[in-house]
Amino acid sequence: MNTNYVFDIFSNFSKNLFFFIILFICINIESSLKALTFFEQASPSILSIILYICVRKLSINISNLMLFTLGILYDVLFAGNLGTSSLFFLLIKYMTQHINLKHNNNNNNKDWIYFTIIFISSFFIKFIFNIFLNMKIPDFSPILFHLGITLIIFPFIVVGIKIIYFITKLIKN
Amino acid sequence: MVSGKPSNNKSLKSGNNFNIVMILLCLFLVFLGKFDLIAIRSIKAFLSDFLAPVIFVFNKPVNEIADVLDRVKSVSSLRDENIRMKSEIRRLKVWKSKKENQVLELLELKELLKVIPENTYDIITGRVITAPGGIFANTVLINVGKKDGISVGQTAVSSYGLVGYVVNVGLSTSRILLVIDINSMIPVYFTGSNWPAVVQGLNGEFLKIKFLSNEANLIEGEHIQTSGHGGMLPSGISVGIVVKSYSGRYYVKPSVNFQRLTYVSIIKNFNAKQDINKTFNSYAPMQMPKGSIGLKGINSSGTRVKGSVIVE
């Protein structure tokens, strides 16, 4: 019993550490994308997409503490207002787990609609906090670009993950 | 359409309280961060120092790809570029000969007026580690820090003009707040008309002009330089040019292309007090301490005389 408990702790820790590394790499990829001319205004929020897919599609329960730490790192790397990104990631996770559309239909648009609602509402809260903290309203064009490009890129990442999943399954068989 | 109905998963229900605690912790951190405590600043600087190599490693391949794309783009327009460059060289040669004469004349005049020579700035150049372009903050991290003599408030410039100023310093890295950031406000003057103003970043491509007199008539394409007002930044550094939007409002387009920022120089020895009291080099007429010296367009009390705006 005791050995199982210790094993569980180690298992959870290693899983969380693995996801932490994956998500931290996502942050860095997001940061490096800004070097490309296309993402001159703003880069897409890859981390939000990955977070959504992990929670909704792959049913992975990402630790809140890990999201909090990632948010702090994100704020330090991008020099944002400390705590706003942690709040954003936690809200994305919370909304992904709790928001349900009443008329569930099994078409491919469902995920996209879910993500749009979750991402925009979480981002709106973050945006309000930033306005409140800076006491200034920023230029809207990079914000709209950020929202748009994230929503456009979402289906491509989903398809990419589906392909990887399919290939893994094929290799296993 | 959207319901807030919780899922049936028991583990999720038990974690609800923890979620709220974490969200409250975030809110606490948001307000704590706003107080700008030294401890938080030090932690941020330490984390930036610690993560700098990781960021550099991740940025390297993307930077290389961006370079390759740029080269491909430039190759396609090589012929046009060549023609343009040839005409530019011809124009510059004429300018050079004119400038040489003017430099000699200026030196002679300075000698006659016994002008105290300008301070030569001690600069240190660092490589940019992160690319700018955030939605809520526009900063870059450079690979020089406290050990290289960098401190908060120092001016960052590139060969094109003003980049920003240092806001956080670690042992081997520093964070620079770019002029396009929403929290950046730079005192400037218009080189054509000599009107002072303040330019504020918008987290976008352009800068907003603030505190400009109603009497000022802006000219599209007019150059803007730092005025040195407030003593934080040296005067005479190029900031950008005036552009007119479709709505008829004037904005400033920065002279520096922040996307292609690779190296940044930090002015280390700018001493604001010394600069104001000892060397006044005509960049900012409104800054003149006494009205004893007659300046064009300014009366003895230091106020601007109406109708004396110099227009090119």
CB atoms within 10 A of CB B21: 11
Which domain, by its residues, includes A113?
Answer: 2-172
Which residue is associated with the tokens 């730079």? B186
User: If you count residue pairs, one on A and one on B, with CB atoms under 8 Å apart, how many are there?
Assistant: 172
Q: Which of B30, B54, B259 sits opposite A83 (nearest CB)?
A: B30
- Tell me the nearest-neighbour CA distance from A150 into chain B, angstroms: 13
B266: pLDDT confidence band, cut at 50, 70 and 90?
Answer: very high
Please tell me whether the overall predicted TM-score, pTM, comes out greater than 0.80 for this model.
no
Sketch the domain layout of chain B as residue ranges: 120-273
B302 exposed, middle or buried (CB, 10 Å; 0-12, 13-18, 19+)? middle
Cβ-based neighbours of A146, under 8 Å, separated by 6 or more? A41, A42, A43, A44, A45, B135
* CB-based contact B5 A100, cutoff 8 Å: yes
Set of chain A residues whose Cβ sits within 8 Å of the Cβ of B47: 73, 76
Nearest CA in chain B to A142: B135
Determine, for residues A32 and B135 on separate chains, whether the beta-carbon distance falls below 8 Å. no
> Tell me, what's the pLDDT at B11?
54
Determine the distance in angstroms separating the CA of B5 from the nearest CA of chain A, rounded to an integer. Answer: 6
pLDDT(B107) > 50: yes
The mean per-residue pLDDT over the stretch B92-101 comes to: 88
d(CA B199, CA B171): 31
Q: Which residues of chain A have pLDDT under 70?
A: 1-2, 101-108
Cβ neighbours for B93, distance < 8 A, ≥ 6 positions apart: none
Looking at beta carbons, which residues of chain B come within 8 Å of A77? Answer: 48, 51, 55, 130
Q: Which residue has the tokens 């960049």?
A: B283
* CA B263 to mean position of chain CA atoms: 14
Q: If you measure CA to CA, which chain A residue comes closest to B16?
A: A94
Q: Is B282 a residue whose pLDDT tops 50? A: no
Q: Which two tokens stand for residue A99?
A: 């928001």
Helix, coil or strand: residue B148: helix
Beta bridge partners of B2: A101
Whether B135 and A87 lie within 8 Å, measured CB to CB: no
Confidence band of B309 (pLDDT split at 50, 70, 90): very low
User: CA angle, B116 as apex, B112 and B121 as ends, to 5°?
Assistant: 135
Neighbours of B165 (CB within 10 A): 21
- Three-class secondary structure of residue B36 per DSSP: coil
CA distance B157 to chain A (A): 20
Degrees, nearest 5: CA angle B59-B63-B65: 125
Per-residue model confidence (pLDDT) at position A12: 79
- Burial letters for B131-152: b for 16+ Cβ neighbours within 10 Å, e otherwise? bbbbbbbbbbbbbbbeebebee
Burial label for A74, CB within 10 Å (0-12, 13-18, 19+), is: buried
User: How far is B128 from B260, CA to CA, in rounded Å?
Assistant: 10
> How, if at all, do strands B238-244 and B250-254 pair?
antiparallel
Cα distance between residue A66 and residue A56, in whole Å = 18
Nearest CB neighbour to A136, from listed B63, B177, B182: B182
> CA angle B118-B143-B136, nearest 5°?
95
Alpha helices by DSSP H, listed for chain A, are 2-32, 46-52, 64-78, 84-98, 109-134, 140-172
Residues of B in contact with A75 (CB under 8 A): 33
Structure-token match 């693995």, residue found: A18
Residues of chain A contacting B32 with CB distance shorter than 8 Å = 82-83
Q: Is the Cβ pair A100, B7 closer than 8 Å?
A: yes
- What is the distance in angstroms between the Cα of B135 and the nearest Cα belonging to chain A? 6
**B294 — pLDDT class (breaks 50, 70, 90):** very low
Per cent of chain B over pLDDT 90 is 15
Higher pLDDT, B81 or A124: A124
* Domain at B120-273, CATH from 3.40.640.10, 2.40.10.340, 3.30.300.30, 3.40.50.300: 2.40.10.340
Let me know: does B231 contact B279? Beta carbons within 8 Å: no
DSSP at A35: G
Question: How far apart (Å, rounded) are the C-alpha atoms in residues A120 and A144?
Answer: 11
- The count of structural domains within chain A is 1
Which residue does chain B place closest to A89, by CA atoms?
B23
**3-state per-residue secondary structure call for B249-301:** CEEEEECCCHHHCCEEEEECCCCHHHHHHCCCCCCCHHHCCCCCCCECCECCC
Is B308:B213 a contact under the CB 8 Å cutoff? no
For residue range B175-232, what is the model confidence (pLDDT) as tens digits?
999 999 988 999 998 888 888 899 999 888 889 999 888 888 888 888 899 988 888 8
What is the pLDDT, as a whole number, of residue A169? 85
Interchain pair B5, A98: CB under 8 A: yes
Distance between CA atoms of A128 and A140, rounded to whole angstroms? 13
User: What does the alpha-carbon distance between residue B62 and residue A96 come to, in Å, rounded to a whole number?
Assistant: 31
Q: How do B238-244 and B223-226 pair as beta strands? A: antiparallel
Mutate to test the interface with B, among A37, A82, A119 (most CBs of B within 10 A): A82
pLDDT of B272 > 60? The answer is: no
User: Which has more confidence, B275 or B150?
Assistant: B150
Query: Which of A31, A61, A83 is the closest to B58 by Cβ?
Result: A31
CB contacts, 8 Å: A36 with chain B: 62, 65-66, 69
Phi (first) and psi of residue B103, to 5 degrees: -65, -45
